[in-house]
Amino acid sequence: MFAANPFAELSASIPPAVMQAYVVVMIVLAAAGTLFDVVHKGSARYFFDNWRKSSRKGRQRLGAGELASIAVKTGLVDVLASGEFCNARRRLAHLLTMYGFLLYVVATVVMVFNYSTSTLWPQLWWLGGAMVLVGGFWFWFFIRVDVAAEGNSPFRVMHADLFILSLLASVTLGLIWAWLQARGSGGASAFFGLYIIATTVLFGSVPWSKFAHMFFKPAAAFEKRVSYANGTRSNVPAPADKPEQFGSARTPPQHY
């Protein structure tokens, strides 16, 4: 089961071209939704304006080498290692979900567009899906602030939960569908339909979910590091009860 391409088996009832077209549409929806989010919220303008202000007010100019070093550090610490999370449990849950999602999506694309007999990609697909479920459900039931700190019910749903819930629904239904299909169960088609609905919601709701944040956060992290390096304080607001969370011009950023 874990070595078989579920989409290759599905091609007996759905033409490969249809599945490939669907994947392309989902990619286009994600890209268009992200661009819409950037324009609608003015995120790009905000960061570019803040970048110019930081450059003008900076006590020292940064050379190309320093900017490159900051960019590398941002990529390694803030992006690849999720350095903004100092809580070990939250960082681990985030890393599991992030890398699992990337692995799951890449494996899906490869398996839909290439029906090779290799067992590697199906195994990576299952592994990525399992990582998403472990990280996502761990976060949802035990780590969320309103659940862990405020004692609210884990079943309390808000608008901001659209991304994580649609992601968990898509991956969960996808794995159930693949498992039922491998067993020859008649219920596989029903779960495949639900899987498609959840996946469409995941990629089609980008303008209203936190999906686009994965593209904004590296830019915000880079701008903040540059603002500290050139002597200006980052314009990212700190919580009212922790006004020095992001430090001052002479204090390095701190995490809580």
Q: Give the pLDDT score at 239.
A: 45
- Is 174 inside a domain boundary? yes
The band of 240, judged by pLDDT with boundaries at 50, 70 and 90, is very low
Percentage of the chain beyond pLDDT 70 is 68
pLDDT at 130 over 70: yes
Among the listed residues 108, 112, 107, the one whose alpha carbon sits nearest the alpha carbon of residue 19: 112
Give the gyration radius of the chain's Cα atoms. Answer: 21
Q: Which DSSP string corresponds to 195-248?
A: HHHHHHHHHHTGGGSSTTHHHHHHHHHHHHHHHHHTT----SPPPTT-TTTT--
- Is 87 inside a domain boundary? yes
- Is 63 inside a domain boundary? no
**pLDDT of 183-214, one tens digit each?**
988 889 999 999 999 999 999 988 777 766 66
Residues 28, 203 contacting (CB under 8 angstroms): no
- Is 136 inside a domain boundary? yes
Q: Which CATH number characterizes residue 30's domain?
A: 1.20.950
- Is 28 inside a domain boundary? yes
Going by C-beta distance under 8 Å and a sequence separation of 6 or more, which residues neighbour residue 188? Answer: 177, 180, 181
pLDDT at 83 over 60: yes
| Domain that residue 121 falls in | 6-55+78-226
Average pLDDT over residues 40-59: 64
**In this predicted model, which residue has the larger pLDDT, 142 or 240?**
142
CA distances (Å), 124 to each of 103, 109, 121, 196, in order? Answer: 7, 12, 5, 20
Distance between CA atoms of residues 181 and 187, nearest Å: 8
Distance between CA atoms of residues 176 and 148, nearest Å: 29
- pTM listed for this prediction: 0.74
Cα–Cα–Cα angle for 210, 88, 238, rounded to 5 degrees: 55
The band of 243, judged by pLDDT with boundaries at 50, 70 and 90, is very low
- Is 95 inside a domain boundary? yes
CA distances (Å), 207 to each of 18, 32, 231, in order? Answer: 25, 9, 35
Q: Give the pLDDT score at 111.
A: 94
Among the listed residues 33, 36, 41, the one whose alpha carbon sits nearest the alpha carbon of residue 166: 33
pLDDT at 152 over 60: yes
In terms of Cβ atoms closer than 10 Å to its own Cβ (0-12, 13-18, 19+), residue 186 is exposed
| Structural domain total, the chain | 1
- Is 32 inside a domain boundary? yes
C-alpha 228, offset from chain centre? 26
- Is 66 inside a domain boundary? no
pLDDT at 2 over 90: no
Alpha helices in 58-183 (DSSP H): 64-73, 88-113, 120-138, 145-148, 162-182
Query: Which tokens go with 43?
Result: 């995120």
Query: Which tokens go with 148?
Result: 């862990």
Distance between CA atoms of residues 234 and 6, nearest Å: 48
CA distances (Å), 209 to each of 108, 131, 203, in order? Answer: 22, 21, 9
What type of residue is 24? V
